[in-house]
Structure 1
């Protein structure tokens, strides 16, 4: 990252690497060019995924979405020993209102695998585990965005961001925001939960938050519902 982490960041721990059959696997991949996307079989996407992809006006957004969802299908298919087009998705009930719009899940009663997907800029991140997980990647925002949005964070998070030099504040904010979104994805509420409710720089009972390596223009984080620090295998190529 471009600068040091906020001064109050005891919650997220260092990246650990474990055996592939234990813990969490995270795929961190660069988005291909439009020409390179032709090498991926977009026909594995279902009708709703294709509709969403074609709805994007900007070609870069279509490429990013298409690659991310083909990648997710290929990774899950390898785990389930099925073809990518055979993977079916559903939703958990929303933990706030019990509506059918909670975290995405596999539509298979016997499936123990949990997953989370995030994409931003040139990055796609996918987390896979038999624990509840959330993953997020964010671009480094400009000063105006930081000033406007930091007010919505937990007071301790806001203080941590504002404690770093102005030139490093965007990177500090992105790290906090990535942790928060990863956690909110993990608990299934998304941004429907009050952003000031949780301090992701402090321990959250039952959860582990980990910063993930990307580049100097982004921040990424993983949230895992586990009493112990996660062992993480990082991957950079599709199965």
Structure 2
């Protein structure tokens, strides 16, 4: 396995498309458990997107470890957090929302989240019910056309921290994640979530918000790539573009 810089997080964007059938090669990447989970989804488009997202995770991990995607083995923590079997220095996270997925790889526990922007009225109600008062106030005070983006920025930061810790979302809704755009350090909220986490905002595509969280407080570097399903003989990872983002925030 090629070593990952201790301060570097790889984030792969994966378009999930709008076709009810994934490329045939991708189903072969999955194990029996993943196929069974896909089979429980009644909607064909949901199944196709599930297959593509999980196949992308396998392809990215396989490229990093030198293992064929179908031979990658995962174990799962108490709350379902995936871990790569036999790779103690490689941590992963997967998130998907509608037609996009994000895959994160890092040298220490990492969490990634992506969410499509919702309706202003709906997100205000959710923030009032679940967010700390100062964060609800920030959502409520935002102009209506910006409110969903403000909410999604806070929500994805919280969920990324929870995923890095391997906890449950309900444990992280009270985390104070409000701060400047870019990178920030989030302190633990006590209880099951210790922290701290270094959180970086992501802009996956128009209409979506994303965030990645790495255990620890030091600035991180993001290597942002894109993954496409294999076509014309390639295995997907060849169709990538790389942006190295040096730490721009203290």
Q: What TM bracket, shorter-length normalisation?
A: 0.7 to 0.9
Q: Equivalent residues in 2 for 1:8-87 (5 A)?
A: 21-22=4-5, 23-34=8-19, 37-87=22-72
Residue 30 (structure 1) shift: 1.1
1:129 maps to which of 97, 106, 112: 106
CA contact (8 A) 1:40 1:70 kept: no
1:150 aligns with 2:135: no
**Partner SS state of residue 78, structure 1:** helix
1:105 aligns with 2:83: yes
User: Please, which runs of 5 or more residues in structure 1 have no aligned partner?
Assistant: 1-19, 93-99
Distance 1:35 1:165, change over 3 A: closer
Tell me which residue corresponds to 2:206: 216
**What are the Cα deviations for residues 158-193 of structure 1, in whole angstroms up to 9, with x where unaligned?**
122122112211111111111111111111112141
**Partner SS state of residue 220, structure 2:** coil
Distance 1:166 1:34, change over 3 A: closer
**Partner SS state of residue 205, structure 2:** coil
The higher-RCO structure (CA 8 Å, 6+ apart) is 1
Tell me which residue corresponds to 1:161: 139
CA distance in 1, matches of 2:30, 2:21: 17
Deviates more, 1:62-71 or 1:80-89: 80-89
**Partner SS state of residue 44, structure 1:** coil
1:177 aligns with 2:167: no
Q: Equivalent residues in 2 for 1:181-192 (5 A)?
A: 181-192=159-170
**What are the Cα deviations for residues 25-71 of structure 1, in whole angstroms up to 9, with x where unaligned?**
10012113437722533122111100111211112211110000000
CA contact (8 A) 2:112 2:211 kept: yes
User: Please, which runs of 5 or more residues in structure 2 have no aligned partner?
Assistant: 180-184, 188-195, 228-235, 238-250
Tell me which residue corresponds to 1:204: 186
Distance 1:75 1:220, change over 3 A: same
TM-score, normalising length: structure 1 = 0.82
**Partner SS state of residue 104, structure 2:** strand
Residue 216 (structure 1) shift: 2.8
1:236 maps to which of 200, 209, 226: 226
CA distance in 2, matches of 1:88, 1:154: 39
CA distance in 2, matches of 1:195, 1:122: 25
Alpha-carbon RMSD across the aligned residues, in angstroms, is 1.9
CA contact (8 A) 2:199 2:211 kept: yes
**Partner SS state of residue 233, structure 1:** strand
